[in-house]
């Protein structure tokens, strides 16, 4: 049964007389349908182009389609219509200019794209697979952008949709891997064909992305310097079969490599295509296992072949009204078949025709500058984010004598008041220096005589008692009578007998006179020490107002440097000569965490001489720049 609907999804007609009703459901692609009406059917006028059509097969909802071409045949007396699934409404929204997303999860990427609809027909439903890649779209329709999100995936995926409610819902899920239906000889198999094609086998792929020539993106930076990916087992069996794979939408090497690995998994094996005709006997048997639908895994049970599980890639019902049991299937391996991939590559190649790429650009930065050890000659140039590749950064320069252009300048008078710089106190130790020793002879000189008078002196003795004895002894030979024996007389003298006083007056007249003398002075020095405290010496100089007339001219410093130093972003270049040609500076530019030249910043190149000098130089810059920007003028 067919129903037509207007843009508000209101039913406008039921087409009871429709015939030749067919539909085709293909995995991860826009479904197609067609039907015809008798030329004189009054409901022909109800079928409006770009309006909607609901299709039911044996009472089961197939999907919602949009009516596109209409063809009227007088000879056949019918009007035929072609239809496409409403998923195609996403073709009507365009990603104008460039849209770039970096390292966001898949669900956020899809939500961003869904939000770009001009008419909000679709909403995002279930997202079972989450990956993180870099994406860039420019002037591409929204459906192609959505389908491209899954291209770098290394696992199978399935787009499903629900159009039974509005807004319609888009889902990204993992496909079934277990068989849910069967095709069996003498049961529902009508015919089959198998095609095996080894001509499309490739086991080594060179992925290429954005750019051109030497500026084209490769995977070397994320693949240990190797520009290709390969499958060792396939090479061992079939030898090396290599090809290049180009998708210029990729600007990130890691994402390019991931997509290339997904392609390699499909291309390393020969393509095996099955075309099977089978009868849908589910309406007879009532068994779910006999329902053959796109996206299901079917088990093939053939007499002369081993049982195999394959994915129904395409389901075509040529006439659900006239031949309801006839079903034509295309089935393939549980990975996406190569023909679909090749068709997608062709589609993407067409899309690439509207992609802005870029071009190689070159310019020269000149420099003519005086410099010295403290003030180097400086190049500065900005590295923009849009510089996709920096191919060359070459320096050519020469060093000459410093040049000045005037010798005097005008000055106003002024009073300068200042003081010496105060230093800390110090102690100075030194000694005088003396010559050899000498003899000094001289006489003292005296005046006239002088009178000297002394005073009284008193002597006091403190001593033990002593005796004075007569001598010689008395009594011997003296004739004394009576006679006495010889003896002595002693007188005792004690202390108080000895204390006495003398008074002396002396008068002397000393005439004028001299005393000659001679001194021998040996060689010697006199050490001394001076302590200087903290101090300053203030002074003031008064400079009267005056002028110095200019002396114009070109004056060259007679001295010239003997060596120079070149630095790039602070990195010292291995070059010290006073001149050089085409010195490659790219290895010295600042790098980011990924080892690439840092973008969106000023790069600084300095040339520093060891004396006053003048540098004449040219910096040659060559880069590949993409032709996208924020404004068009």
Residues constituting the chain = 633
Mean pLDDT of the chain: 81
In a domain, 425, yes or no: no
Tell me which of 616 and 132 has the higher pLDDT: 616
Q: What is the mean predicted confidence (pLDDT) over 213-230?
A: 90
Of 175, 201, 229, which residue is a domain's last? Answer: 175
Whether 83 and 102 map to the same domain: the answer is: no
Whether 77 and 114 map to the same domain: the answer is: no
* Residue 138 clears pLDDT 90, i.e. is over it: no
Whether 6 and 81 map to the same domain: the answer is: yes
Each residue of 466-517: pLDDT tens digit? 566 655 665 555 555 556 566 666 666 666 666 666 665 656 666 777 777 6
Task: Please give the residue range of the domain that contains residue 72.
Answer: 2-87
CA–CA gap between residue 175 and residue 334 (Å, rounded) = 9
Of 144, 175, 206, which residue is a domain's last? Answer: 175
Q: How many domains does the chain have?
A: 3
CATH number of the domain enclosing 574: 2.60.120
In a domain, 423, yes or no: no
Per-residue model confidence (pLDDT) at position 334: 53
Other CB atoms within a 10 A radius of the CB of residue 150 amount to 20
Tell me which of 167 and 341 has the higher pLDDT: 167
* Residue 442 clears pLDDT 80, i.e. is over it: no
CATH number of the domain enclosing 144: 3.55.50.10
Return the minimum-mean-pLDDT range out of 103-112, 191-200, 363-372: 191-200
Classified as helix, coil or strand, 123 is strand
Whether 13 and 66 map to the same domain: the answer is: yes
Per-residue model confidence (pLDDT) at position 154: 72
Whether 105 and 124 map to the same domain: the answer is: yes
In a domain, 531, yes or no: no
Each residue of 511-539: pLDDT tens digit? 777 777 676 777 777 777 778 787 777 77
Whether 73 and 112 map to the same domain: the answer is: no
In a domain, 618, yes or no: yes
In a domain, 363, yes or no: yes
CA–CA gap between residue 152 and residue 309 (Å, rounded) = 25
Whether 11 and 73 map to the same domain: the answer is: yes
Residue 415: burial class (beta carbons within 10 Å; 0-12, 13-18, 19+): exposed
In a domain, 370, yes or no: yes
* Residue 386 clears pLDDT 80, i.e. is over it: no
- Taking every pair of C-alpha atoms in the chain, what is the biggest distance, in angstroms? 223
Tell me which of 521 and 343 has the higher pLDDT: 521
Whether 51 and 110 map to the same domain: the answer is: no
Whether 66 and 102 map to the same domain: the answer is: no
State the Cα angle at 289 between 57 and 175, rounded to 5°: 85
Query: Is omega for the bond preceding 482 within 30 degrees of 0, making it cis?
Result: yes
Of 41, 57, 87, which residue is a domain's last? Answer: 87
Whether 119 and 169 map to the same domain: the answer is: yes
Q: Are 383 and 599 in contact (CB under 8 A)?
A: yes
Whether 565 and 608 map to the same domain: the answer is: yes
In a domain, 351, yes or no: no
* Residue 458 clears pLDDT 60, i.e. is over it: no
338-352 vs 253-267: helix axis angle to the nearest 10?
140
Q: With bands split at pLDDT 50, 70 and 90, how would you rate the model's confidence at 369?
A: very high
Whether 82 and 6 map to the same domain: the answer is: yes
* Residue 420 clears pLDDT 60, i.e. is over it: no
What lies within 8 Å, CB to CB, of 496 at 6+ separation is: none
**Residue indicated by tokens 């002879």:** 441
In a domain, 613, yes or no: yes
What lies within 8 Å, CB to CB, of 519 at 6+ separation is: 439, 440
């Amino acid at each position: 049964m067919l129903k037509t609907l207007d843009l508000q999804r209101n039913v406008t007609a039921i087409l009871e007389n429709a015939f030749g009703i067919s539909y085709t459901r293909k995995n991860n692609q826009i479904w197609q349908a067609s039907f015809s009406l008798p030329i004189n059917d009054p409901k022909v006028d109800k079928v409006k182009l770009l309006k909607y059509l609901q299709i039911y097969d044996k009472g089961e909802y197939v999907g919602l389609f949009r009516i596109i071409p209409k063809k009227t045949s007088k000879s056949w007396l019918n009007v035929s219509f072609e239809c496409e699934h409403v998923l195609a409404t996403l073709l009507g929204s365009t990603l104008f200019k460039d849209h770039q997303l970096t390292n966001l999860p898949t669900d956020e990427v899809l939500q961003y794209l869904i939000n770009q609809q001009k008419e909000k027909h679709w909403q995002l439903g279930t997202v079972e697979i989450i990956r993180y890649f870099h994406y860039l779209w420019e002037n591409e329709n929204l459906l192609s952008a959505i389908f491209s999100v899954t291209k770098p995936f290394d696992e199978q995926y399935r787009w499903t949709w629900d159009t039974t409610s509005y807004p319609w819902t888009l889902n990204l899920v993992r496909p079934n891997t277990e068989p849910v239906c069967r095709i069996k000889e003498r049961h529902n198999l009508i015919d089959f064909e198998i095609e095996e094609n080894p001509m499309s086998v490739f086991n080594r792929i060179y992925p290429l992305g954005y750019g051109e020539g030497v500026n084209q993106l490769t995977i070397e930076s994320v693949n240990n310097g190797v520009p290709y990916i390969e499958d060792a087992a396939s090479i061992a069996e079939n030898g090396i079969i290599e090809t290049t794979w180009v998708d210029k939408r990729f600007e990130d090497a890691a994402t390019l490599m991931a997509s290339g690995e997904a392609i390699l998994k499909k291309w390393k094996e020969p393509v095996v295509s099955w075309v099977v005709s089978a009868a849908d006997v589910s309406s007879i048997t009532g068994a779910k296992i006999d329902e053959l639908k796109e996206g299901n895994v079917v088990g093939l049970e053939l007499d002369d072949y081993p049982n195999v599980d394959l994915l129904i890639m395409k389901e075509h019902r040529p006439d659900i009204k006239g031949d309801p049991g006839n079903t034509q299937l295309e089935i393939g391996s549980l990975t996406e078949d190569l023909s679909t991939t090749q068709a997608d590559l062709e589609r993407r190649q067409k899309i690439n025709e509207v992609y802005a790429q870029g071009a190689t650009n070159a310019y020269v930065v000149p420099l003519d500058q005086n410099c010295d050890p403290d003030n180097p000659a400086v190049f500065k140039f900005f590295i923009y984010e849009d510089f996709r590749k920096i191919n060359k950064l070459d320096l050519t320069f020469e060093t000459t004598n410093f040049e000045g252009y005037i010798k005097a300048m005008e000055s106003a008078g002024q009073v300068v008041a200042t003081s010496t710089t105060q230093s800390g106190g110090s102690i100075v130790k030194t000694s005088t220096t003396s010559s050899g020793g000498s003899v000094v002879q001289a006489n003292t000189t005296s005046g006239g005589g002088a009178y000297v008078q002394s005073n009284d002196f008193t002597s006091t003795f403190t001593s033990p008692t002593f005796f004075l004895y007569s001598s010689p002894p008395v009594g011997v030979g003296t004739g004394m009578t009576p006679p006495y024996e010889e003896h002595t007389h002693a007188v005792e003298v004690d202390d108080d007998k000895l204390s006495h006083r003398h008074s002396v007056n002396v008068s002397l007249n000393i005439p004028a006179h001299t005393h000659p003398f001679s001194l021998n002075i040996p060689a010697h020095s006199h050490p001394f020490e001076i302590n200087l405290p903290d101090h300053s010496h203030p002074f003031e100089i008064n400079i009267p107002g005056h002028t110095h007339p200019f002396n114009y001219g070109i004056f060259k410093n007679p001295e010239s440097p003997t060596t120079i130093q070149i630095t790039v972003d602070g990195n010292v270049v291995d070059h010290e000569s006073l001149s050089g040609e085409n010195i490659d500076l790219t290895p010295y530019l600042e790098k980011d965490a990924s080892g690439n030249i840092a973008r969106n910043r000023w790069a600084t190149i300095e040339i520093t001489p060891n004396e006053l000098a003048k540098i004449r130089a040219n910096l040659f810059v060559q880069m590949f720049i993409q032709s996208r920007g924020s404004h068009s003028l």
